Chain A
């Protein structure tokens, strides 16, 4: 395989990027770490590690409550991340950014607040067959608690949404919300956001996009997308665990009741009643992820420093290389052949279970995920119990993909 045939964008130097990630120098079982599990959680660049530590060493107190210098500075930093996030996804207003723990919490917030507080029993929610459990289970819970009907868009053999079926599900006008992944964590497929938006809005439904994977690989512009809700999680975007983002249009956030009650989300409290703080704070009960917000801002600046054009070009090149190399390993079957895809490739190997594959790869220092990837219905759709999954990030190299393919070939002979 001639790597030189597929150059990454000229300005992008993967070795320089790798130098920013201290963990990539680690040996695993005496071998060089080949980390192909970024879709589960990405590694952290020096800037994020430093921001986290610097905050603790120089600028830390609780936010929104101290009148003292430290609290004011910390509040500025925390609130400053809202601006950074708003810039990242081109939100119209910084108050449209709600901090949550992760994507899962963002989706649960929408299900509990918008779902129970705004949607009426008898309305329907549409999700797809390729959802992560975190964009499935909250809607099942809403269905059971609030009398919402749950409708599922099937996935085609190529791993794309069946758009004709989607349109049919919307036809009766009862769908209040469409909640769909922007990029599949199993198939790598980017869903056709513009068409989803056009169809859903034409039928009076709002749209939530689960951007957990998508925002890592391509520029996201929520205004250009035209969606109503967007969620993502910090730890996959080279940021810390414990912080994620829910973006929603102001007029929706204004109509939504708070989900969790407590400190920070109120305006005044008496025994009789409490009144709510303004958006977004009415959705941020309790002491938030202060340090994590500072580190998330550092992660976003890191990504912006490389630039989404370079990231997308590098990862498109890696993905093409991976699909090409895997196609030449006997017995490998890749799930999903959608042309529009990000840096995630799931596969099975004939005669070897995904866990055995992962264990053998691990012996060579190659980290992949094996299992159902929190997407059991999708596994059933493709008639498999589990797959192995290689996923790529800014630091992934073509040589690492070669190592994966070469080692897979040996795994195949081991179990032959």
Chain B
């Protein structure tokens, strides 16, 4: 039943949406920011701890929202680990292209291929324009944290 929504709710999304691996507050962190989607009431807060070289050593989040937004936050926390701010921006640009939002991606950097592959199941939101912002909420919060902003409201 609902076979035709499997493109949106792929197993990975149902799994990470219901059992996120990175949903916690970091006791020790270097940056944090909240994302808020006033349209639907979804909220997420991300915490980042940096490595000495400035890359993200650890990312975690707490949030309330739909399966898409929680799964996306969880996969975000997983995939940005070990990346620098510039690399995270580049990854987000590639991810948005997967969602059919933002600019079409150039050929992905080899370093991003595995991560984009991991994020690919979220690409199903393409067909549901009102849900794209669910998939990008945590990413906007991360960019705000990287820049030292406290609040980020997603209007995507």
Contact = CB atoms under 8 A, between A and B. Distances in A.
Interface of A: 351-356, 359-360, 363, 370-372, 376, 379, 385-386, 410-411, 413-415
Given A353-B66, A385-B64, A414-B2, A359 B131 contact: yes
Interface of B: 1-2, 4-5, 8-9, 14, 18, 39-43, 64-68, 128, 131, 134
Given A359-B8, A363-B4, A372 B41 contact: yes
B148 to A, nearest CB: 27
B40 A359 contact: no
Given A356-B66, A385-B42, A363 B18 contact: no
Interface of A is mostly: helix
Contacts of A414: 1-2, 9
Given A354-B66, A359-B8, A386-B41, 9 more contacts: A353-B65, A356-B66, A363-B5, A371-B41, A385-B42, A385-B65, A410-B1, A413-B1, A414-B2
A358 to B, nearest CB: 9
A385 B40 CA distance: 8
Given A371-B41, A385-B41, A356 B2 contact: no
A359 B42 contact: no
Given A351-B18, A415-B14, A370 B40 contact: yes
B16 to A, nearest CB: 13
A385 B1 CA distance: 28
B135 to A, nearest CB: 12
Which of B18, B41, B64, B66 has the most chain A CB within a 10 Å cutoff?
Answer: B41
A151 to B, nearest CB: 25
Contacts, number: 50
**10 tightest A-B CB contacts, nearest first:** A353-B66, A355-B66, A385-B41, A386-B41, A372-B41, A356-B66, A356-B67, A371-B40, A410-B1, A363-B5
B131 A355 contact: yes
A386 B41 CA distance: 7
Of the candidates A351, A353, A410, the one having the most CB atoms from chain B within 10 angstroms of its own CB is: A353
Contact of A353 (B5, B8, B67, B128): B67
Contacts of A363: 2, 4-5
A353 B66 CA distance: 5
A411 B5 CA distance: 11
Contacts of B5: 359-360, 363
Given A359-B131, A410-B1, A415 B67 contact: yes
A376 B43 CA distance: 13
Given A359-B131, A386-B41, A410 B14 contact: no
Contacts of A413: 1
Contacts of B2: 360, 363, 410-411, 414
Given A363-B5, A386-B40, A355 B64 contact: no
A187 to B, nearest CB: 17
Nearest to A357: B66
Nearest to A376: B41
Nearest to A379: B41
A30 to B, nearest CB: 9
19 contacts: A351-B18, A352-B67, A353-B65, A354-B66, A356-B66, A356-B67, A359-B5, A360-B5, A363-B5, A371-B40, A372-B40, A372-B41, A385-B41, A385-B42, A385-B65, A410-B1, A411-B2, A414-B1, A414-B2
A362 to B, nearest CB: 9
A385 B38 CA distance: 11
A355 B37 CA distance: 13
Contact of A355 (B1, B4, B40, B43): B40
Nearest to A385: B41
Nearest to A373: B41
B14 to A, nearest CB: 7
Nearest to A363: B5
Contacts of A386: 40-41
A363 B43 CA distance: 25
Contacts of B8: 359
Most chain B CB atoms below 10 A, which of A370, A371, A379? A371
Contacts of B41: 371-372, 376, 379, 385-386
A410 B68 CA distance: 19
Nearest to B39: A371
A83 to B, nearest CB: 40
Contacts of B65: 353, 355, 385
Contacts of B9: 356, 414
Nearest to B65: A353
A363 B5 CA distance: 7
Contacts of A370: 40
Nearest to A386: B41
A33 B67 CA distance: 25
Nearest to A352: B67
Contacts of B18: 351, 415
Residue picked from B4, B40, B42, B131, most chain A C-beta under 10 Å: B40
B41 to A, nearest CB: 4
